[in-house]
Structure 1
Amino acid sequence: MPRTREFDTEAAVSRAMELFWTRGYEATSVRDLTRELGLGQGSLYAAFGDKDGLYQAALEHYRTTLAAAALRGLEEGADARSAIRTMLIERIRIAVEKDGRGCLAINAACERLPEDPSTRRVVRDMQDAARDALAEVLRVAAERGEIAARNDPYALAAFLVTFLNGLLVSSKITPDARALEPLVEVALAALG
């Protein structure tokens, strides 16, 4: 008869997400995970399969919590320019925390993509969701005359996602929101 799980899986994934986010995949050992999560190695393997399984669960948790919250903020914004500015500034604020830990998704892309198709898929899904949400906000904004209609909303959205990716990498190099926030205004100038 299988034993029932005696720990909160969601809390364990959330703590693992924080550890992977701060240290990276390679620098986080199974020993680090078991110590941080307060689990035995057997429990970790029974719940997640292996370190990679827990990493994938952590990326998925990031996608459904922090990344999803950023997209909800876009939908709730009063006008497109303000909503996009708020989203970008908030992403900078989160990325510079803890001495520039960046963004878990971008960190994963930089560290794991060459050899990990599962990570590529999760990160690509996050990027696609951000681009699609931005494109819809920009399409509506162009129809309302809030931004110039000369550019394709999809291309503008792809540009903003690419800009954000670079900004998040830069946050690891220069974890100073005051140095990065002025760049947001330069990107917003592309909206016309």
Structure 2
Amino acid sequence: MPRNKEYNHQDVLNAATSQFLDKGYKGVSVNDLVKATKLNKHSMYVEFGNKEGLFCACIDHYIQAVHRHVGHILRRQPLGLRNINDFFRHRIDYAYSGRGNGCLLLTTVSEKNQVDQMVLDRVQHHWTLQKADLRICLDAAKEQGEIPAEKDTAVLASHLFCQLMGMVIMIKGGARRQEVEQMIDMTLAHARQ
């Protein structure tokens, strides 16, 4: 008869994700993960296979959490620039709140030579979905006359996404909130031109 699990899967993923955020994939040892998650090595290997398997589970967990907490902002009705503004402000509020240590996905791609291509593909897929949500809002904004009809919404969505990622990195580096707020205003003003 198999033993019941004596740990909470979500708690394990939260603890491991925190380690990967703090130290990066390469900087986290199996012993760090065992200590943080309170799993023994055997349980960790049975549940996740290895450090990379746990990291993949953390990436999936992180993506689901982001999607659950902010994905609805871009998809709410009516679609348009207001959703994009609210999405940017939400992400910036979160970055300044102290609740997170940055973005696990940005940390992961900055270590791209240390992680498996499968992990990078997961990150890229998530980012592709976020850019698609931005584009849907931009297409609606174009129909409503909020942005010029000649704007290429695919290119603009990628530009906005890149701007947001840059702002998150700047916040992690200590940028003042007023500066970042002004960048949001300038970015959205550029979209309207």
Q: Does 1:173 align with 2:173?
A: yes
Q: How many correspondences in the alignment?
A: 192
Deviates more, 1:18-27 or 1:129-138: 18-27
Q: What CA distance in whole angstroms lies between the structure 1 residues aligned with 2:187 and 2:170?
A: 15
What amino acid is aligned across from residue 149 of structure 2 in structure 1?
A
Q: What CA distance in whole angstroms lies between the structure 2 residues aligned with 1:126 and 1:68?
A: 13
Percent of counterpart pairs with the same letter? 28
* C-alpha displacement of 1:172: 1.9
* C-alpha displacement of 1:44: 0.9
Runs of 4+ in 1 over 6 A off after TM superposition: none
Deviations 1:18-71 (A, max 9, x none): 222233222222222111111111111111111111111111111111144322
Q: What CA distance in whole angstroms lies between the structure 2 residues aligned with 1:43 and 1:153?
A: 47
What amino acid is aligned across from residue 190 of structure 2 in structure 1?
A
Deviations 1:94-139 (A, max 9, x none): 2344498321111111123565202211110111001101111111
Deviations 1:57-98 (A, max 9, x none): 111111111144322111126552221112112212223444
TM-score (norm 1): 0.88
Deviates more, 1:45-54 or 1:63-72: 63-72
Q: What CA distance in whole angstroms lies between the structure 1 residues aligned with 2:100 and 2:180?
A: 12
Q: Which residue number in structure 2 is paired with residue 28 of structure 1?
A: 28
Q: Does 1:42 align with 2:39?
A: no
Unaligned runs of 5+ in 2: none
Q: What CA distance in whole angstroms lies between the structure 2 residues aligned with 1:152 and 1:5?
A: 51
TM-score (norm 2): 0.88
| Coordinate RMSD, CA, aligned | 2.2
Contact 2:108/2:115 (<8 A) preserved: no
- Partner-residue secondary structure (3-state), 2:146: coil
Q: Which residue number in structure 1 is paired with residue 81 of structure 2?
A: 81
